[in-house]
Amino acid sequence: SALHKDPDWEHPERSLNAQNDGHRKYFTDYVISELGDEAPELLERVLPSYPPFGKRMLMDNGWYQMLRNPKVQLVDERVSKIDSTSLVTEDGGEYEADVLVLATGFDVLNFITTYEAKGRSGASLMSQWENDNAKAYLGTVVPNFPNFFTLYGPNLQPGHGGSLIFVVEMQVRYIMDVIQKMLDQNLGAVEIRQEIHDSYNEDVDRAHTQMVWTHPGMESYYRNEGGRIVVNSPWRNVDFYSMTREADLSEYLTEPVPELVAD
């Protein structure tokens, strides 16, 4: 796979393995062809130093050719401030602007921002997840939060290609299987066991150490402040399909439905 590190690869500073290096050459040749005569000046500024697929790919629909437009100026210095008429960069550059488009993205690492969820202990899910270090078993269930399921949860963004919709469908099927078994066994609550949850997340983190997203120096929205991959899944979709094919309630703490007490 182009996403996995080859420990014997001779050029780990630029790519992960021979296949990944071939992709890098192909992408580099394409960028050079798009930049044309401007390539010598712009190539160092626009060509990534990290291996292919380390960050979300730019699907070019004229972006590189746009850089050749004489009306376009590429500014890649950090912004220090914005005043009433211009944008000022850390190197002292000042650029007048009529309109600013703030393409700052999303709050990806904070999975729950619109409501507060509290578990058995009364602690919030955000505090248990340390704000930006979300973990869940199969990206779906969390210790201390019985009967609580998350869709498109931690470490579930497909990194190998394929559809996120497929991943969510597998989650829904898994959740439905849990609920059906609760009904069949007259259970009122299920909660993933801490040790099952922890072991799974250790596997996730271990798998990520061998993948492109943890390449030295790689920074992206996939990682939290501590460097842990929180967003992407290390599994292929077919692997996740197998993992979620059937729910095993022995992995859960279970409680029976309380008997109704007549007045």
Q: What share of the chain in percent tops pLDDT 70? A: 98
Mean pLDDT per block of 10 residues along the chain (263 residues) reads 93 94 94 84 88 85 88 92 93 92 82 85 91 95 97 93 93 98 96 98 97 90 93 95 97 85 47
Distance CA 80, CA 212 (A): 31
SS3 3: coil
Distance CA 39, CA 46 (A): 10
What is the structure's pLDDT at 259? Answer: 59
Distance CA 109, CA 133 (A): 7
Distance CA 173, CA 208 (A): 26
pTM of the model: 0.87
Q: What is the pLDDT of residues 103-125, one digit of tens each?
A: 877 788 888 777 889 999 898 99
Distance CA 31, CA 250 (A): 53
All domains of the chain, ordered by start, with CATH? 1-72 (no CATH), 77-102 (no CATH), 135-256 (3.50.50.60)
